[in-house]
Structure 1
Amino acid sequence: MTTRTLGVVMNGVTGRMGYRQHLVRSVLAINSAGGVALPTGERVLLRPVLVGRSEAKLRDLAGRHDIPDWTTDLDAALADPANQVYFDAQVTSARVGAVTRAIEAGKHVYAEKPTAETLEDAITLAKTARAAGVKNGVVQDKLFLPGLLKLKRLVDGGFFGRVLSVRGEFGYWVFEGDWQAAQRPSWNYRAEDGGGIVLDMFPHWHYVLENLFGRVEAVTARAVTHVPGRWDEAGGRYDATADDAAYGIFELAGGVVAQINSSWTTRVFRDELVEFQVDGTEGSAVAGLRRCRVQHRSTTPKPVWNPDLPATEPFREQWQEVPDNAEFDNGFRTQWEMFVRHVAAGEPFPYDFAAGARGVQLAQAGLLSSTEGRRVELTPIDFGGEA
């Protein structure tokens, strides 16, 4: 068995998500397991080159994980021909410029979502990458969660019959940062820095809905800023200029209606931080990050509305657990391995910058719907020869 090494420039890994999920639980975990296996039997090891603005943070991070290559000079990292892949997990507002430079340097590009703050920029990135002939991908990690993998298994197996509706609840209380430290970075709450829950979460909901239930054709949404003032990492108060909650109705091809609430200002009273209930003519399912439970039409009880008597039916106990039937790896790592095989062996990778642009389109339509108080239709995007 032979191995080869692929240099990967990783920009933004000093941040929480870039560090925990992409560097530690994906790239370093892949190397610890002996690399990514290719169909030829060859294995690919990843050589991370850490890039960021803070020399002190990079030096500390590299020292903790024995990573020899790090720099604050992105152009120097891109100029090295041994570095064939560029990965971006920066703040959204910095992504387009850096990814464009990587494409111009001839690197294959993989990026966190959203790929851009505006649909125009997201489309430009997709077209630029296609014209340059570089492989490109966007992170769509929730597709690889155990709960959603089980849900997709039910869809593919015809469990639901005709799907009628999807109802999603996502969120938790993010502390303001004064009397308890916030568990999300402060830029998330500043629109001028690319923050906002619509831009953050609607691209997630787009690829979940698109890949499991159908193309999103229209959206009606209300985005709000429930908490107007927060405290940043240095303890200073700032005005929250971005939305921290959004309530959306999504109309899908085939008549499916999805309702999803997204909030950083809600307290959790459910089994997981995100849950989707899918109702169909033949059965229903409730899926979270890991669990998925079902109720078939043959075992559906017949409750009767009577507000004068206490409920005695054990509703939760009337659902059946969907078995794992497989081993589920970290979703970020799974998609990293797919992208590496895409680059090294030419295997298909459907989650490209065009898919990323469709996610940005939904976010932009959601914000427009909220601002103008109306339903907004989504039209197919022309990427130059493909819709």
Structure 2
Amino acid sequence: MQEIGIIMNGVTGRMGTNQHLIRSIVALREEGGVELPSGERVVPDPVLVGRNERKLERLADEHDIDRIAVDPDLEECLDGNDEIYFDSQITSRRPEAVTKAIEAEKDVYCEKPLATDLETAMDVARTAERAGVKHGVVQDKLWLPGLMKLDRLIEQDFFGEILSVEIDFGYWVFTGHVQPAQRPSWNYRKEDGGGIIDDMFAHWSYVLENLFGRVESVYCLGQTHIPERIDEDGNAYEATADDAAYAIMELENDIVAQLNSSWTVRVKRDDLLRIQVDGTDGSAVAGLRECETQHHSNTPKPVWNPDQPTEHDYHDDWETVPNNREFDNAFKQQWEHFIRHVVADEPFPWDFLEGAKGVQLSELSHQSWTEREHVPVPELSI
């Protein structure tokens, strides 16, 4: 058994604490580490980095972690022998810290978006390539059970020719006036890197490309539906970032994707995320964990008659896709892939260039919104 040192910067935030530290790194340590192809196991040895020493000490004490470092000590950490640098800070702080880690010859793994703009994202990707370090971006939704079941259907050619994809995502985020908001206030300030386009379109970029094909063009309309919210200190502030976005994207192979992303919608569907895929031979609807299908041979033949009540229950025409396997935490699974990539040189296709594609889609979606134009999405290369 061996250990691998991981510098974890930004773990005091909600995502860094819950998904990356507790449900990924701590869980892997409790399981005895990541199993390599040789059968040997490698155990993560994290150092927790952040700006709040009290929070770092609490996290380290709760999860039996020996090492912490307050943010100004990051460069001292980078001078050490830890192999991996991980970044889950706010996006505006990420490129500088990641670049320092690359210059220190660390292999780098980070949250998305890689940067706030495409030029910076590509600079970071090229810097990593020139340095010869291994690099990756979190693309966790690829390991959600619902999406893995969709991928299984695609591999088995269930859909025939895929015609369209419809993605509905979102929920009501309280403004703070009556009930506390369940998302941080910076999410709603453009000047702090907030906005649902920047937050979610980086996800939709890799989901669409990995499952259905490259995005070739986008038409997007963003909105700031709620102009005032209440921050963590109880103060009113102007919401300057988009809280909803509506897009139509053309994918390769003439697939049309429609995407609604909103923090101002009340949920009346089976899950916070709903993806419907329609093809010539069948359709499927997936959520975060479940997936249902309707084959061409089982498709009913409805007749539109607005003068008569509908007696047919269309939900009954769908069949549930079985699990057929155990599904682990999505973030943890990608962490395992990246650790094996670093230690055993296993392939890891979700690199900084893939992360830059997400930044590109967000940037072009903003451009489409501003110009009210359908915008092509050029192919990227290092």
How many Å separate the matches in 2 of 1:305 and 1:322?
Answer: 29
Tell me by how many angstroms 1:85 deviates: 0.4
Deviation at 1:317, TM superposition (A): 0.9
- Tell me if the contact between 2:353 and 2:381 (Cα under 8 Å) persists in the aligned partners: no
Show CA shifts across 1:24-52 (max 9, x none).
00000011111000011111100110001
Other-structure match for 1:22: 20
1:347 CA displacement: 0.1
How much does 1:238 deviate? 1.0
Q: Which residue of 1 aligns with 2:74?
A: 74
Determine whether 1:59 maps to 2:41: no
CA shift at 1:61, angstroms? 1.5
Q: Which amino acid aligns with 2:232?
A: E
Aligned-residue identity in percent: 59
CA displacement, residues 50-72 of structure 1 (integer Å, 9 cap, x when unaligned): 00111111112111212110011
Q: Distance in 2 between matches of 1:64 and 1:38?
A: 28
Q: Is the 8 A contact 2:159 2:280 kept in 1?
A: yes
For residues 169 and 153 of structure 1, what CA distance do their matches in structure 2 show?
21
How far, CA to CA, are the matches of 2:44 and 2:132 in structure 1?
A: 22
Residues 295-335 of structure 1 show CA distances to partners (whole Å, capped at 9, x for unaligned) of 00000000000011111111011100000111110000000
Whole-angstrom CA distance in 1 between matches of 2:28 and 2:93: 27
Q: Can you list the C-alpha shifts for 1:235-292, whole angstroms capped at 9, x where unaligned?
A: 1111111111000111001100000100000000000000100000000000010000
Residue in structure 1 matched with residue 182 of structure 2 by the alignment: 183
* Aligned equivalent of 2:99: 100
1:10 maps to 8
The 10-residue stretch of structure 1 (297-306 or 176-185) with the greater mean CA deviation from structure 2: 176-185
3-state SS, counterpart of residue 294 of structure 1: strand
Which aligned runs of 4 or more in structure 1 are off by greater than 6 angstroms?
none
Could you tell me which amino acid in structure 1 is paired with residue 53 of structure 2?
A: E
The aligned amino acid for 1:50 is L
What is the 5 A alignment of 1:131-150?
131-150=130-149
Instruction: List per-residue Cα deviations over 1:203-232 (Å, max 9, x = no partner).
Output: 100100000000100000001111111111
| 1:348 maps onto 2:339 in alignment | no
1:279 is aligned to 278
SS of 2:169's equivalent in the other structure is strand
Give the Cα–Cα distance (whole angstroms) in 1 for the partners of residues 103 and 242 of structure 2: 34
Could you tell me which amino acid in structure 2 is paired with residue 255 of structure 1?
D
Provide the residue aligned with 2:45 in structure 1.
Answer: 47
TM-fit CA distance, 1:78: 1.0
Q: Which moved more, 1:275-284 or 1:228-237?
A: 228-237
Greater Cα offset, 71-80 or 145-154: 71-80
- Is 2:328 the partner of 1:320? no
Q: SS in structure 1 opposite 2:55? A: helix
1:38 paired residue among 36, 39, 44: 36
CA distance in structure 2 between the aligned counterparts of 1:98 and 1:148, rounded to whole angstroms: 32
1:1-387 counterparts in 2 under 5 A? 3-72=1-70, 73-81=73-81, 83-383=82-382
- Find the aligned partners of 1:327 and 1:61 in 2 and give their Cα distance: 29
Residue 382 of structure 1: how far off its partner (Å): 3.0
| TM-score, structure 2 normalization | 0.99
Q: Which amino acid aligns with 1:228?
A: P
Counterparts of 2:231 and 2:266, CA distance in 1: 21
Task: Give 1:41's aligned amino acid.
Answer: G
CA distance in 2 between partners of 1:371 and 1:147 (Å): 34
Q: Distance in 1 between matches of 2:147 and 2:211?
A: 9
Separation (CA, whole Å) in 1 of partners of 2:275 and 2:313: 20
What is the identity, as a one-letter code, of the residue corresponding to 1:74? L
Structure 1: segments with no counterpart, 5+ residues:
none
Return the alpha-carbon distance in structure 1 between the equivalents of residues 310 and 91 of structure 2.
48
CA RMSD between the two structures: 0.7
Letter in 2 for 1:11: N
Q: Deviations over 1:3-29 (max 9, x none)?
A: 111110111111111100000000000
2: CA distance between counterparts of 1:190 and 1:260?
A: 22
Structure 2 segments unaligned to the other structure (5+ residues): none
Distance 2:139 2:244 in 1: 21
